[in-house]
Amino acid sequence: MSEEAVMTHLRLDPDNVGEQDAESLLEAIKGDVRYEEVIHGCLNCGVCSGSCPSHRFFDYSPRIVVQTVLSGDAQAVKDMMDEYIWACAQCYTCAMRCPFHNSPGGLVMIMREVAVWRGMEAVHRLLKPYGRVLLKVLSIGNQLTPDMIQPDFFPDWGPKIPWSSTDLAIKRKAIPVYTLQVTTSAWRVSPQTSYELYTIYEETGVFRLIEQIDPNLYEVVSDMVEDLRDTIESSR
Amino acid sequence: MATSPISDKVRTSGWEFITKTVDKRAIMKAAPKDPREELAELEAKGEVKVIHITEENRPIEVETLLGRTKRIPTNKLWHHKSCGQCGNIPGYPTSIMWFMNKLGLEFLDETHQTSCTAWNYHGSGTSNLVALASVAVRNWHRAYETGYFPLIHCGTSFGNYKEMRNLLIEHKDLRDEVRRIMAKVGRELVIPEEIVHYSEWLHVLRHQIAALKIHDLSSIITTVHPACHVWKLVPEDVIYDPNIYGGQRPAPTTAILLALGAQVADYSTWYDCCGFGFRHILTEREFSRSFSLERKIKVMVEEANSDVAITQDTGCTTTLDKNQWIGKAHGYNYELPVMADVQFAALAAGADPYKVVQIQWHTSGWEKLLDKMGVDWRTSKAEYEAYLEELKAGREPEQLYVPPVENLNLH
Amino acid sequence: MSTSVMVIGAGPAGLQAASTLSHLGFDVTVVEQQQYLGGAVARHQYQVLMPDFSSGPELLRHLIERVNEDPHIKIYTGTSVEDVSESRDIFSITLSGAHAETIQSHAVVLATGFDHFNPARDGKYGYGIFPDVITGAELEEMFAKGPIRRPSNGEVPQSVAFIYCVGSRDRQVGNTYCSRVCCAVSAKQSIELREQLPKARISMFYMDVRTYGLWEDSLYWRSQEEAGVVYVKGRIAEVTEQHGRPVLKGEDTLVRGPFEWPFDLIVLAAGMEPSRGTHDMAKKFQVSLESHGFIKQAHTIHNASLTDHPGVFVAGAASGPKAIEDSIAEGDVASLAVFDYLKAKVTL
């Protein structure tokens, strides 16, 4: 493990997608400005894993994540980023209980971000079922919309789901709050708001990241972005 | 058996035990810095603008974990809505607005808001700190320019915004970067004096809300699912009250249920998450199902004999409600209604279960509960169905609230 | 003229200091806010002491008889220090309570001790919510007063769990230090429990077992070899209640992974914190506290009893967590330091 001070960063460069050397991944994790806050040391006491919902169901332990990162074994850390850390439910019970004030959940979040922004192989598989959410969040900033609740996607949610998706427009209209009387977004989002959101995504590398890791999705999104920009700019 | 969450239990053995006052202030000697004090310092230096809570917001003071004071604004609020709630549990925000109307409180619900995007971040990692902070500040600034104080409906937004506030206060380079991006969209860096969740608003107004109650809830056994991102993220900012679990567990939600006269039962997996897992609900559904059934619903029913699970956040309401039906395939025959504290309170105060509380979107059978509460949902259902027909025929919808025209900007 | 020294606090350290100071030729006033002498040993009625299983009441009898029979020692119980002023190395100390008077002292020994961490400050243990969750000090009181029973229903416990490091080594509650004695005291208690509960399951949940020096085999090993006590490495994440019994949730970090384990009785090895009296006296006598809130030793290695205020000395748990044996030793250390300090100034 390098003893040199790591340069801290606020975010990763999406143009470094593909840089997956184990040492550079560990360096990226340790360089995150939040790293110093999420990990201080470790007493190996087991409070985090004892509190952890995923520890009960998966081969996953926040204690092992912390210990592995602290060990400085870059290859072991990289192996974890492939699948292991994606079991975390991000509930932050570990962070609330850790006697060292570590945040194992926060550490996992940094590792996930690095895994995605470096385009690690497993990420493509992990993100696949996420496409619909990503499309919504990138285009309007909502993560869930009424029209996403469809029986095809949620057959396990039971016999009332078809009710929810039939005559949706009318049922949404029957919600007595004007902004909610829509189906393709969670509420009416003004075009100006989406326009501003696109600037944020552009300036923070999010669009560029999506372009690199999911070109098909990016194509759909960029069409929507262009249309909206044209509309807004021509109305000025 | 239902047990009282009030702490002054008499030890049955007759032993003389030490009793000392719990003073969480003793934790203060190693306490995290108070970001609000640092924010005030940055404001004094002209580094940031602060959205202040004013007289007009009619704040009520409460104590948080370490004995610090938090001011909860109750009036002139800007609704920072939740996409999970608006999309899937629409009676959640409508119940909040219904109470605000009932209490004569002023608010603004408009179209210039985005989600916090933190659910996606926790689930997929396809964002970053700068983007999250910029999204937060953009929403805060929008509230700021309207003159209304942001009230955060979603627990994940609430937790995430507290983290973003703290990180913005701590890191100048983050402030500079967010400021640069805000300039591009014609906005400024502003940070609210407090980050406030609707459950806190409900908590401080619980006695006024309880006074609106028209149904007797004394036979209703409730179980509370406290939401992880509401109380485990930035835990020192959470409201505690010595009368609720002896000040050892957060007060919001439990306190309003008690104020409404319902029973609140404890259960052995109270601390567990719901199984939502951010990505799990979409990509590891087996985990979400098993966890919510095995660790929450089953325990609430079997240990606590609960009539209803009461939530205070978005993902938990969905996870606990939607996963019960599939459990029948695995021999779990539970039918425990799930709803947010504010929906339960609205039912108790006589809100229309269909038109206002929108209970029809909830999948786990709530009919027995409503019967037990004395809510006439059958009439309400008939009226709602007739109303849907009228809407189909072109009738204009009824509104609890319509934003002023200048807050629409729709094409 | 006679040279007078005030000892504040009448626990083992203070009582030892009073007696030794008197032997060295000083007039001693012992000020104790409680109505009784003996400090924590008396308050919690320790019957059997760590490490040697000697008698607590006998130790108290020994310490108290010596000061009671000594004509050079005045004992002021039910008395508190109200106000302190200092002029030419003489402290003028105004007392309130049973002996409301002002006393001139040439030196002061602070033996103000510790308070147990109140576990209600850490919600995850359910202390004060679940009746069968008690502290180690409460277990000592049970030993003193009668048979061990479950507070919830009066039944004989069939299983007992000890939770280590409650309120110690934990930034979440503001105490980052080790309280030093709780591991060994819990081992002692488990051995005592075994005598009363021959069939009960007794389990210790620890992060490290710190039975220093000679306590290792005499307590830690013995508890396993003779008392059949089981040690599980894993800090308890939370305590809840199921069907009227407390349930421990945690990770067995070495062997079995996650567990949820019901017990009839839970004993919290609650750590030591500077007592309120320690804080009050530090303020009144203008001595500094170290970062954990105990009285700061000016020369930790050189002499355990020196504070950063000349004429004010410290003994016992007021300067940090320690065992009774060490507190009594420090009573002597402080007495000799007082002697050293005063011999240059006054003729004895």
Domain ends where: A119, A147, A176?
Answer: A119
pLDDT score at B5: 38
The span from the CA of B235 to the CA of B231, in Å, is 5
The predicted-structure confidence for B31-86, as pLDDT tens digits, reads as follows 678 999 999 999 999 999 999 999 999 999 999 998 899 999 999 999 999 999 99
Residue in B3, B7, B15 to test binding to C, most C beta-carbons within 10 Å: B15
User: C254-272: b or e for each residue (b if 16 or more CB lie within 10 Å)?
Assistant: eeebbbbbbbbbbbbbbbb
Residue A52 lies in a domain: yes
Q: Given a cut of 60, is residue B358 above it in pLDDT?
A: yes
Residues of each domain in chain B carrying CATH 1.20.1050.140: 35-198
Domain ends where: A66, A92, A119?
Answer: A119
pLDDT score at B26: 53
| Residues linked to residue C29 through DSSP beta bridges, in sequence order | C6, C74
Residue A150 lies in a domain: yes
Same-domain pairing of A157 and A182? yes
pLDDT score at B189: 97
Predicted structure pTM score: 0.94
CB nearest to B125's CB, from A115, A197, A235? A115
Same-domain pairing of A157 and A61? no
Residue in A42, A49, A101 to test binding to C, most C beta-carbons within 10 Å: A49
Residue A3 lies in a domain: no
Same-domain pairing of A186 and A145? yes
The predicted-structure confidence for B136-155, as pLDDT tens digits, reads as follows 999 999 999 999 999 999 99
Report, as ranges of residue numbers, the positions in chain C whose pLDDT lies below 70.
Answer: 1, 345-348
Residue A1 lies in a domain: no
Q: Given a cut of 80, is residue B411 above it in pLDDT?
A: no
- pLDDT bin (cut points 50, 70, 90) of residue A215 is very high
Residue A171 lies in a domain: yes
CATH assignment of B35-198?
1.20.1050.140
**Strand runs labelled E in A20-148:** none
**3-state secondary structure string, B121-145?**
HHHHCCCCHHHHHHHHHHHHHHHHH
- pLDDT bin (cut points 50, 70, 90) of residue B405 is confident
Q: Which residues does B10 contact at the CB level (< 8 Å), separation at least 6?
A: none
What range defines the domain where residue A21 resides?
Answer: 14-119
Same-domain pairing of A83 and A34? yes
pLDDT score at B14: 34
- pLDDT bin (cut points 50, 70, 90) of residue A130 is confident
Residues 48-87 of A with CB under 8 A from C: 49-52, 55-56, 61, 63
Does A45 contact C257 at a Cβ distance shorter than 8 Å?
Answer: no
Indicate if the alpha-carbon torsion angle B294, B297, B300, B302 is positive or negative.
negative
Mean pLDDT of A4-29: 92
Q: Given a cut of 50, is residue B115 above it in pLDDT?
A: yes
Q: Given a cut of 50, is residue B259 above it in pLDDT?
A: yes
CB nearest to A144's CB, from B83, B397, B403? B83
Provide the domain count of chain A: 2
User: B349-370: b or e for each residue (b if 16 or more CB lie within 10 Å)?
Assistant: bebbbbbbbbbbbbbbebeebb
pLDDT > 70: what percent of chain A? 98
- pLDDT bin (cut points 50, 70, 90) of residue A109 is very high
pLDDT score at C265: 98
| Residues linked to residue C265 through DSSP beta bridges, in sequence order | C160
Residues of each domain in chain B carrying CATH 3.40.50.11810: 213-388
Contact B345, A164 (CB under 8 A): no
Tokens 């004094």, residue located: B44
The predicted-structure confidence for A171-204, as pLDDT tens digits, reads as follows 999 999 999 999 999 999 999 999 999 999 999 9
Which tokens belong to B371?
């019967």
Domain ends where: A70, A102, A119?
Answer: A119
Instruction: Please give the residue that has the higher pLDDT: either B357 or B328.
Output: B357
Residue A6 lies in a domain: no
Residue A8 lies in a domain: no
Residue A9 lies in a domain: no
State the chains in contact with C (3 or more Cβ–Cβ pairs under 8 Å). A, B
H runs (alpha helix) in B90-224: 91-102, 118-124, 129-146, 155-170, 172-184, 198-204, 206-210
pLDDT score at C93: 98
The predicted-structure confidence for A143-155, as pLDDT tens digits, reads as follows 999 999 888 888 8
pLDDT score at B10: 32
Same-domain pairing of A95 and A141? no
Give the CATH architecture of domain C119-271: 3-Layer(bba) Sandwich (3.50)
Which tokens belong to B68?
């610090």
- Searching chain B, which residue's CA lies closest to the CA of residue A150? B88
pLDDT score at A225: 94
CATH topology for C4-113+275-343 is FAD/NAD(P)-binding domain (3.50.50)
CB of C230 within 8 Å of a chain A CB? The answer is no
Mean pLDDT of A157-175: 92
Residues of each domain in chain C carrying CATH 3.50.50.60: 4-113+275-343, 119-271
Which tokens belong to B2?
């239902």
Q: Which CATH class is domain B213-388?
A: alpha beta
Same-domain pairing of A199 and A151? yes
User: C116-137: b or e for each residue (b if 16 or more CB lie within 10 Å)?
Assistant: bbbbbbbbbbbbbbbbbbbbbb
CB nearest to A45's CB, from C207, C249, C257? C207
Taking residue A70's Cβ as centre, other Cβ atoms within 10 Å add up to 17
| Residues linked to residue C266 through DSSP beta bridges, in sequence order | C133, C161
pLDDT score at B31: 66
Chain A residues with CB-CB distance to C251 below 8 A: 46-47, 49-50, 55, 61, 63
Q: Are β-strands C102-105 and C90-97 bridged in parallel, bridged antiparallel, or unpaired?
A: antiparallel
pLDDT score at B17: 41
The predicted-structure confidence for B198-211, as pLDDT tens digits, reads as follows 999 999 999 999 99
pLDDT > 90: what percent of chain B? 86
Running DSSP on this structure, what letter comes out for residue C69? T
pLDDT score at B9: 34
Which tokens belong to C245?
């019994």
For residue B136, give the amino acid letter.
A
DSSP output for B374-394: T--HHHHHHHHHHHHHHHHTT
Least confident of A111-115, B162-166, B405-409, C15-19: B405-409
Indicate if the alpha-carbon torsion angle C65, C69, C74, C79 is positive or negative.
positive
Q: What is the CATH number of the domain that holds A60?
A: 1.10.1060.10
The predicted-structure confidence for B363-379, as pLDDT tens digits, reads as follows 999 999 999 999 999 99
